[in-house]
Each structure stands twice: as C-alpha cells, then as structure tokens.
Structure 1
C-alpha cells in the first residue's frame, strides 16, 4: 500500500511541471490575443 502511494506521489510530481508549463503557455496565448485585439482596435480608430 505504501509503495503504491509513493508511486502515485512520484507520478504526480512528474505531472505537475507539465501542468505548470501548460498553464504558462495558455496564459501567454491569452495575453498575446489580448494585445492583438488591442492593436486591431487601435488601428481601426
């Protein structure tokens, strides 16, 4: 049982960086889109 828990924890630790990376990428994309929209609006006016 304990070994299973340890295995799960080590799996989680490997997944966490991936999730952080994904979240970071999504934030980048979102902020990029916002800037893009902002620029488009500025150009229109």
Structure 2
C-alpha cells in the first residue's frame, strides 16, 4: 500500500495494482498536474 500526498486535501492510495484518487479539486492543483481526469474510468 502506498500513500502519495498531492497537496491540500488531495492524495492517492495505490494498493493491489489499483490506484484510488481522493481530491476535492484537481485543477489548478500543481501537484496533481500529471493526472488527466479524462482518462479516469469509473469501476463500480
């Protein structure tokens, strides 16, 4: 399990080959600029 702090209240958790992104806002967050929300697919 890996936790990555991306600033303010944004962080990601990677576990078992899956990545969870928790972020009340993504842009204009400089620390999260590598994340493209258009490529994030919901996995219900």
What band does the TM-score fall into relative to the shorter chain?
A: under 0.3
Give the number of the structure whose alpha-carbon radius of gyration is greater.
1
TM norm structure 1: 0.17
TM norm structure 2: 0.17
Higher-RCO chain (CA-CA 8 Å, sequence separation at least 6) = 2
More strand by share: 2
More helix by share: 1
